[in-house]
Chain A
Amino acid sequence: MSTAQRYWREIPRRYRLEAAKCTKCGFIAYPHRAICPQCKNREFTAINLSMNCKLLTYTVIHVAPSQFEGQAPYTVGVVETEEGGRLTANIADVEPEDLKVGMPLRLEFRLIQEDGDQGVLCYGHKAVPA
């Protein structure tokens, strides 16, 4: 089990979708970065990713890691927000057969996992039908 600070440190990104936009080329860094991988600029503007996104690819996980075993089968996908931020996210409230690459989705604040038997409840965002 990890210490609480490992979880606490990521709260701004996971709870509030805090990201950074390169002042030179517009690259969206989620999470924030010290240097832009596209143009090497070190100046960023703080932004929050919007909740509106679209589905880029997905899978249905049947064999799950231990902390997700109770949820299997569950759907995970890559989504892109309106600004161009990319997330790997659990996709909820939709049957896999109704998913289509390119369809609009919306990010929603949800419980993601429990860290161990007595660990913290771990929150973040899942994608749901728009």
Chain B
Amino acid sequence: MRDVAIIGVGINKWGELWEKSLRDVWVEAALLAMDDAGVDHIDSIYTGSMSSGLFVSQEHLASLLADYLGECPAQSTRVESACASGGVSARMAYLEVASGQSDIVLATGVEKMTDVDGGGATFALATAADQEYEVYNGVTFPGLYAMIARAHMEKYGTTLEQLAHVAVKAHKHGAKNPVAQYPFEVTLEGVMDSVMVADPLRILHCSPITDGAAALVMCPLEMAKKLSKNKPIKILASVNATDTIALHNRKDFTTINSTVKAAEKAYRVSGKTPGDIDVVEVHDCFTIAEICVVEDLGFVEKGKGGAAAESGLTDLGGKIPVNMSGGLKSKGHPVGATGCAQLVELTRQLRGESGERQVEGAKVALAQNMGGTGGSSVVHILEVA
């Protein structure tokens, strides 16, 4: 297997992009990544999209997107793993370069979510849960994470204030990210008084509905210097793991075991430990998700994730800066794009290009992206080459 580097990244402004179609937002991000890398062609494309069929009635993205990028007859593949589709897309691109099958590979993710109304989006997102045995009985995605939150509060004494601190922190950093959907700060009181969605989770505990895309150009590390002027970022580990699709079949509702298992392997193959990681992006689709995942990645003891957010441990300047991009909460969550967008953020952090939200001297970074309630997780570890 060859070592693989990220040599180009692209992300456009996220939000409710009513004037743009799925192909518009995707091509913008793809071209930004190609221009950033300085490459003029692509050998193979991967696209993570959770549900383009339900959101814009369009399947066959492999053809559509290669066509509109002007890259036919390049190999092109669409992958799906719910909200982890982007992370899986990056992993497939990594494997294709590592295996020697292709040299210049584009890893992308996209979701165009505002072409359906709120009910349509809720329906599409719920397809990441067990349709026959969870969704049938009226549970929603916020509802599933609310049940995780309840279990965490019961077991570890996690408080509503600690949950709210995760949202406040996300927006504090997102306010420094020009591509974020909601680049403004929120107050603790504002979060705690916001509209109830699924008790105890309120609207400001939830990531939004977003249109957006993100893209990365990967190549063999040994070719990186020749192909691009950018500082190459080496992918040390790219790992995927699964867990039961239904939350109710988990032994412990507070542990995202797919993340635990993916992280264990990622640390092993990279030779890194949680203490070596300088900057992290996690899948904070809901505030409780960040609390569970910060624990499950080994950054804090199980049960201390809430305290980590409250004490500033995960802030810029803290011991383990988490979600400098603003996370899913402030940056937005176009589901299929999120996994790639995390890697865009971390690549820029490792290059030292993150401006006001830069983690000074960051050398090693970790991204955690998950689908559903953690039925699938992808963990990447990156390092300055």
Q: Do A and B come from one complex?
A: yes
Binds A, one of B71-79, B144-152, B228-236, B321-329: B144-152
Prevailing SS type, chain A contact patch: strand
A38-66 CB mask vs B (1 if < 8 Å, else 0) is 00000000000000000011111111111
**Set of chain B residues within 8 Å of A77, measured between Cβ atoms:** 147
Closest 3 CB pairs of A and B: A59-B146, A60-B199, A86-B248
B179 close to A (CB within 8 Å): no
B199 with A78: CB separation less than 8 A: no
Which residues B103-159 have CB closer than 8 A to chain A? 119, 122-123, 126, 130, 132-140, 142-143, 146-148, 150-151, 154
B223 close to A (CB within 8 Å): no
B137 with A90: CB separation less than 8 A: yes
Given A14-B136, A30-B133, A88-B139, output 13 extra A-B contacts at Cβ < 8 Å.
A61-B138, A62-B196, A63-B140, A64-B138, A64-B140, A65-B126, A66-B119, A66-B122, A76-B143, A78-B147, A86-B246, A89-B137, A90-B137
Please judge, given known A-B contacts A31-B133, A65-B123, A78-B248, whether A57 and B198 are in contact too, CB under 8 Å: no
A122 close to B (CB within 8 Å): yes
B57 close to A (CB within 8 Å): no
**Set of chain A residues within 8 Å of B201, measured between Cβ atoms:** 59
A63 with B197: CB separation less than 8 A: yes
A15 close to B (CB within 8 Å): no
Interface residues of B toward A: which range? 35 or more
A34: shortest Cβ distance to chain B, in Å?
Answer: 16
**Set of chain B residues within 8 Å of A88, measured between Cβ atoms:** 130, 133-134, 137, 139, 246-248
A23 close to B (CB within 8 Å): no
**Set of chain A residues within 8 Å of B132, measured between Cβ atoms:** 10, 31
A87 with B248: CB separation less than 8 A: yes
A112 close to B (CB within 8 Å): yes
**How many Å lie between the Cα of A44 and that of B200 in the bound state?**
39
Number of A interface residues in the complex (CB < 8 A): 33
**How many Å lie between the Cα of A122 and that of B249 in the bound state?**
23
A68 close to B (CB within 8 Å): yes
B253 close to A (CB within 8 Å): yes
B292-331 CB mask vs A (1 if < 8 Å, else 0) is 0000000000000000000000000000000000000000
**Set of chain B residues within 8 Å of A74, measured between Cβ atoms:** 138
14 A-B pairs with C-beta separation under 8 A: A58-B147, A58-B150, A59-B201, A60-B196, A61-B138, A61-B142, A62-B197, A63-B140, A65-B135, A66-B119, A76-B137, A76-B143, A86-B246, A86-B249
**Set of chain B residues within 8 Å of A64, measured between Cβ atoms:** 138, 140
B136 with A101: CB separation less than 8 A: no
**Set of chain B residues within 8 Å of A87, measured between Cβ atoms:** 133, 137, 248
B199 with A62: CB separation less than 8 A: yes
A12 close to B (CB within 8 Å): no
B63: shortest Cβ distance to chain A, in Å?
Answer: 29
Please judge, given known A-B contacts A59-B199, A76-B143, whether A124 and B154 are in contact too, CB under 8 Å: no
**Set of chain A residues within 8 Å of B143, measured between Cβ atoms:** 59, 61, 76
A96 close to B (CB within 8 Å): yes
Partner among B136, B139, B147, B197 whose Cβ is within 8 Å of the Cβ of A122: B136
Partner among B119, B196, B200 whose Cβ is within 8 Å of the Cβ of A65: B119
Partner among B137, B142, B249 whose Cβ is within 8 Å of the Cβ of A63: B142
A69: shortest Cβ distance to chain B, in Å?
Answer: 8
B346: shortest Cβ distance to chain A, in Å?
Answer: 32
A104: shortest Cβ distance to chain B, in Å?
Answer: 17
